Amino acid sequence: MACLRAVLIGLILGVTALPAHARDGAALRGEVLFGWYDLVLELVRHTPTYSPPVAARAFAYVGVISHEAQAALDPRARTLAGQLNGLTAFPEAKAGAAFDGAVVLDAALGAAMAGFFGNTGPTGQRAMQAMGDAMALRVEDGLDPEVVARSRALGLAIAAHVADWAETDGGAVVENMGFPHDYSFGEDPDDWQPTSTIALQQAPLLPDWGKVRPFAMPAATACPVAPHPAFSKEQGSDFHANALAVYHASKALTPEQEEIARFWSDDPMLSPTPPGHWVSIVLQIARRDGLSADRTAGALAVLGVAVADGFIGCWHEKYVYNLVRPVTYIKRYIDPEWETLLITPPFPEYPSGHSVQSGAAEAALTAVFGEDFAFDDATHEDDGLAVRHFASFREAAEEAAVSRLYGGIHYPFANANGLEQGRCIGAFAAGLRLEK
């Protein structure tokens, strides 16, 4: 990842700039897309409100913008307007006028960054400015100023259209990092209780996120998760056995299982988040295979929609079931001294968010790239975690799901059923048509 970034920085600084007479529009669009998306993966890590559901929402909108900015100039491409809930027709490029696709895409993505990551700190603001300046120099070089202006206007109009659409989805305003100031808890033994000593996290994250307008699935309830085993504290019960499975797994972790737990942990503000991890996978595949900007943007749009819908559907179910976390159950009924490998996230257990969104990502990316599509994942190389190889998106999704067992975060049934819910949700995104 660090090496790729160095290449990118070289490109945007013009170190390897193409001669003016050899402007390669497709290559420039690729530079723009990869450049801004590399920055997105940092901004999502450094913008305080970006918990995984919120991050997934941003990835969906940025993905849609990326696709539409290119579809606007490509007669073969199909817009997502009319395919996604509430998305109306985009402003069209003026017929007969000259546009530059790289400038359109750069303008659209620059506006998307400012819109969706405007709350980032001074370093992120400075980075966005630096990226915007460098990209503008790169893509505008040698172009007729009128073409530049026209193209920028179109890109900005596309981004503004998406921003207006996003404002109405119920997820645009996130206060207090997503933790409500007041919250009514259940007090039955199966009800979720806070697991963190952090004062800000004594209420659960985003209890109303299941009310956010989905993107491709018709409603948050379109893919309900299967019921979990009936709660019981009795030894020998199915539920107790699942809790014991978490406990025993934690006591017998192999080094690889611990590595897997950390590899998929993707903690907010310490990583690109779980949906960003899947975005990173797509970017790595695109670079490895030399995918075009158009194809990459399409994949990112479908993926973004899948994971965003995954979190909406998952969060809806989390607050239906409101299930107690393993750390609470195990300390109450099995071993009061037990501690988890990973920090338990501050919201109800069932189903597993990692599993649902990974199941959705698996469905979406399998539709785009195919079954048994092998890839290496170096998402966390900069953080000191080794590259992992996967034979398919399904294998990766299943490892992401079981990582939560290893981390002590989820019961096995929450991972298995979560994957299934995610695959159901991801099928809606997989059904999006990107070409005419």
Using CA atoms, how far residue 135 sits from 31, 199, 234, in Å, is 9, 42, 62
Take residue 214 and report the two structure tokens written for it.
């989905």
Return the residue of 94, 126, 389, 433 that touches other proteins, per CB under 8 A. 126
Q: Does residue 337 bind other proteins (CB under 8 A)?
A: no
HSE of 55, CA atoms in CB hemisphere, 13 A? 29
Closest approach, Cβ 97 to other proteins, in A, equals: 32
Closest approach, Cβ 229 to other proteins, in A, equals: 19
Q: Which is nearer to other proteins, 202 or 232 (CB)?
A: 202
Site track for other proteins across 207-246, x = CB under 8 A: ----------------------------------------
Q: Which residue has the tokens 């409101």?
A: 322
Q: Does residue 10 bind other proteins (CB under 8 A)?
A: no
Using CA atoms, how far residue 124 sits from 13, 248, 266, in Å, is 18, 42, 20
Q: Which is nearer to other proteins, 128 or 430 (CB)?
A: 128
CA–CA gap between residue 31 and residue 80 (Å, rounded) = 23
Q: Does residue 250 bind other proteins (CB under 8 A)?
A: no
Return the residue of 15, 173, 199, 252 that touches other proteins, per CB under 8 A. 199
Take residue 417 and report the two structure tokens written for it.
């059923």
> CB-based burial of residue 178 (10 Å sphere; 0-12 exposed, 13-18 middle, 19+ buried)?
buried
> Helical H runs in 252-352?
255-263, 273-289, 293-321, 326-333
Say how many residues touch other proteins, by CB under 8 A. 46
**Residues 338-397 within binding reach of other proteins (CB under 8 A):** 382-385
Q: List beta partners, residue 260.
A: none
Q: Does residue 12 bind other proteins (CB under 8 A)?
A: yes
Q: List beta partners, residue 377.
A: 388
Q: Which is nearer to other proteins, 5 or 332 (CB)?
A: 5
Q: Does residue 134 bind other proteins (CB under 8 A)?
A: yes
Q: Does residue 149 bind other proteins (CB under 8 A)?
A: no
Q: Which is nearer to other proteins, 9 or 93 (CB)?
A: 9
Q: ∠ CA(160), CA(166), CA(171), 5° rounding?
A: 150
Contacts of 325 (CB under 8 A, 6+ apart): 192, 193, 195, 344, 348, 349, 409
Q: Does residue 9 bind other proteins (CB under 8 A)?
A: yes
Q: Does residue 58 bind other proteins (CB under 8 A)?
A: no
Q: Which is nearer to other proteins, 144 or 382 (CB)?
A: 382
Residues that bind other proteins (CB under 8 A): 2, 5, 9, 12, 38-39, 42, 45-49, 118-119, 121-123, 126-127, 130-131, 134, 176-177, 181-188, 191, 197-200, 202-203, 269-270, 322, 382-385
